[in-house]
Amino acid sequence: LLVAVSGWIIYEAIHRLSDPPEVAGTGLLVVATLGLVVNLVSAVVLARAQGNSLNMRGAFIHMSADAAGSVAAIAAGVAIVAWQAEWVDPVASIGIAVLVLFATWGLLRDTTSVLLEGTPKGLDPDAIEAAVAGHDGVDAVHHLHLWSLSSDQPALSAHVVLSGEVTLHEAQERGDRIKQFLASRFDINHATLELECHPCEPQDDEWRASDRVRTDEGR
């Protein structure tokens, strides 16, 4: 919506550059000043509460763009009242629209990453794999995957090879400790761990070898 509105504003402003309409400069100045106060207060409140939520970030960008628009409108109002430079109004509109487009691009990029379940921003799969592999009672980690359930909720799945001979209860306790570690260090609260007593790749190779033996025997 922000991109579409910005495009429409630029289109209208370009047409008005060649034939600027009459603008009530004093009214524009008063309304823009009141709008600036409201938008600045709203932007400050949203900035403190946005966290990692893309929805809150989108609202913050909207308020910030409105505040910037109010500043540009004030400048245009001053130019019209002082020098009757009505052409400043469409120029200011273009500047505001470009600013909104620039800010919206990052929002669209991050939103697309969430929709495509990309790796969450700020999390390195290699670093997380190394950290889990170095955890007490862990021999190795493989098949680790990171994705985004939402803008502020990363998810992880991994195969974890436990050291030693452990019971099912002990394995579950180690898995719980690893999940607590992921939550405290990386803020990953949604983790699915497949606990293994040995790497699954050799097992797969072994199964394929035995399958070939059975096939040869059948022939």
Quick: pLDDT tens for 97-137: 888 888 788 788 888 888 888 888 889 999 999 999 999 99
Q: What is the pLDDT of residue 128?
A: 96
By the 8 A CB rule, do 17 and 87 touch? yes
Query: Average pLDDT per run of 10 along the chain, which is 219 residues long?
Result: 88 88 85 90 83 79 83 89 88 88 82 87 92 93 92 91 91 95 95 88 48 42
Q: Which is nearest to 72 in space by CA: 98, 95, 48, 56?
A: 95
| Verdict on whether the full-model pTM lies above 0.85 | no
By the 8 A CB rule, do 63 and 50 touch? no
How many residues does the structure list for the chain? Answer: 219
Q: What is the pLDDT of residue 201?
A: 63
pLDDT digits (tens, 9 = 90+) for 160-170: 999 988 899 99
